[in-house]
A and B are shown apart, each in its own frame.
Chain A
Amino acid sequence: MVSDSITHNAPIASAPNSRDFSKKKRTNRSAKLKQCKLDVRREQWLSQVGAVKSKCCKEDQNGARKESARSLENLKPRDEDNSNDSGSMHHDSDSESPSNSPTNSLLCGNGGTNPGTNFIGSSSSSSSVSGSSGGGCCSGSITEEEEEDGCLDDWEAVADALAADDDNNKQEPEHDRSCSQSPSESQLSVKSDSLHELANGLSLDSVKSMPDGARMVPSVSENNRRAWRPDDAFRPQSLPNLAKQRSFPAADRHFGQGGVPWACNNVLAAPSSCPICYEDLDYTDSSFLPCLCGFRLCLFCHKRILEEDGRCPGCRKPYEHDQVESEAIVQGGSMTFRLARSCSMIARS
């Protein structure tokens, strides 16, 4: 039963993507971007699943992975037939509107035991709640983008939103977009939602057919970090490599802002830790600019260097010791004096 429903549904989810690719003539670039979007999206929901420790759910996922991988290779032609089904399925379950409850893992556990029933009639309405609805929203907006030409900007917005989701559960731009979806678009996204279902063992319901994306937005689980490993045996071959994705500068930038773990921290201008002792810089430290060259370090290390050779590690010039001291006296304590000092040092250069 379980595997049946999975095999039946898998092509619905995976095929539209490839169909879209072939259908719409795109430049290489936008195709790549789409791949990335898809990858991001897959990562998100798959990792929601990965976070769940319940065994049954895990097994189901493995099944789902396997099946979806297979379906990607073999079952693409079926998507036309299935798309309608899935659409109606989701409309059926529309009445059980997601409530954004943060009980993903619990629900996932439930759904994992009987995903088949969920797919068919959403009989277990409780499990058709949140969980992957946030991912659903994302996929909605992503599929919508595929209709547009300004891929890069929108995709960046999505990436932003995905990343922001991780931390804050807020994403404004997506609401509007999912509201403005045309019927066909929403069908597309419904189809991709069914992949969510597969992954989660959840009945995903309604998500896409609901016009107001707002309700589904904030429920992406907080530990949606990993999905396929590059060496995963069941990883669909159509997925782009993470390495490729990282090579997009835009991706790096946005994920860096969003705090996704594989982002590059070096993007930030001010170091978050002292380059000398590797301890974190607190506010005082990070507003402390002892040398004109801009080399920052924590107050402890600075003091220690002053006691020894007194030269800035960044430029090897001696710290301007006296100037610092005199200004400290004039201006008095705390933050203002530190800021003022660094400013004045710059001014004097």
Chain B
Amino acid sequence: MATVNGYQGNTPVAAPTTATAPKQPVNTLKTVDTQSVLKRLQSELMALMMSGDSGISAFPEEDNIFCWKGTIQGSKDTVFEGTEYRLSLSFPNDYPFKPPKVKFETGCFHPNVDIYGNICLDILQDKWSSAYDVRTILLSIQSLLGEPNISSPLNSQAAQLWSNQEEYRKMVEKLYKPPSA
């Protein structure tokens, strides 16, 4: 529930849909649908843990496999090198036919991430495909860090500063707060 509240507090617009997603599996009967989502998420978790990708990780929250916490490390040779960001992923009941809601929980100074942690990434919206999974999402976000889309910024200050990588790096370091635990 803490997560749900957090969503509502931070992003009123996204809150209704976001809030329902984690609730539903608890409240509704275990339909065939839910079962298949469970299977998919469990398989993804297995695959993610076996894949051994460096710089990304994700794991479900304690009691709810529809809510995951992920971490992304800034790629080498980008201004985000050496930083690590925590994200939350919440999966709708019709996942993977609908994308999960992904947010930064660690503040991220990035042109396509707003102050609430919302991410502007096409594959999380209209370019979503059910063939994507947690791993590809996290990898996409990781690469988004180093290659922002300046033309449609959520954080215009970051977008303006992007051209000056040295200053940008200083800004990232100044604003960076490592995720706690």
Contact = CB atoms under 8 A, between A and B. Distances in A.
A277 B40 contact: yes
B131 A276 contact: yes
Interface of A: 275-279, 295, 301, 304-305, 308, 311, 313-314, 316
B16 to A, nearest CB: 20
B82 to A, nearest CB: 29
B60 to A, nearest CB: 16
B36 interface: yes
Given A277-B36, A279-B36, A305 B130 contact: yes
Choose among B40, B129, B130, B131 the residue with the greatest number of A CB atoms under 10 Å from its CB.
B130
Q: Size range of the interface on B? A: 10 to 19
Nearest to B96: A276
A308 B97 contact: yes
A92 B40 CA distance: 59
Contacts of B130: 276, 301, 305, 313
27 contacts: A275-B131, A276-B40, A276-B96, A276-B97, A276-B130, A276-B131, A277-B36, A277-B39, A277-B40, A278-B39, A278-B40, A278-B43, A279-B36, A279-B39, A295-B131, A301-B130, A304-B97, A305-B97, A305-B130, A308-B97, A311-B129, A313-B130, A313-B131, A314-B129, A314-B131, A316-B127, A316-B129
Nearest to B131: A313
Nearest to A295: B131
A304 B129 CA distance: 13
Given A276-B40, A314-B129, 16 more contacts: A276-B96, A276-B130, A277-B36, A277-B40, A278-B43, A279-B39, A295-B131, A304-B97, A305-B97, A305-B130, A308-B97, A311-B129, A313-B129, A313-B130, A316-B127, A316-B129
A304 B95 CA distance: 12
